[in-house]
Amino acid sequence: MALQPKRLALAAATTAIILYMLCWHFMALAPELSLQLTEDMFHGSLGAMTWRMDERSHLVGTVLREALAGLSVWMGAALYNGFETSPPETGDETTM
């Protein structure tokens, strides 16, 4: 079964945007709880770390996550399709 890389990449990018926006708004509404959850995920203290919650960080973060999610899933689907359509092994290759 061949994957459709463009559709899969678009779905991944859209999902990444939705999750990022939910996370960004959660951090804006509850910064202390967000920091505590982040510290729990990293198993350590982030003491002096602060959140930068402005329009620029929201826009840049959204675009970067969308691009990275879409590109990585598109590459994975293209590789999968490339491996799937490889010719079968003939067994006549010499071994080292």
List, for residues 7-33, the tens digit of each pLDDT value.
999 999 999 999 999 998 898 899 889
Domain-wise residue ranges, the chain: 5-68
Could you say which DSSP state residue 93 is in? P
Inter-residue contact 18 to 90 (CB < 8 Å): no
List, for residues 64-73, the tens digit of each pLDDT value.
999 999 999 9
Q: Which CA distances in Å does 50 have to 29, 34, 35, 39, 53?
A: 14, 11, 8, 12, 9
The pLDDT, as a whole number, for residue 85 is: 62
Predicted confidence band of residue 78 (pLDDT cuts 50, 70, 90): very high
* H-state helical runs in 1-96: 5-29, 31-42, 55-84
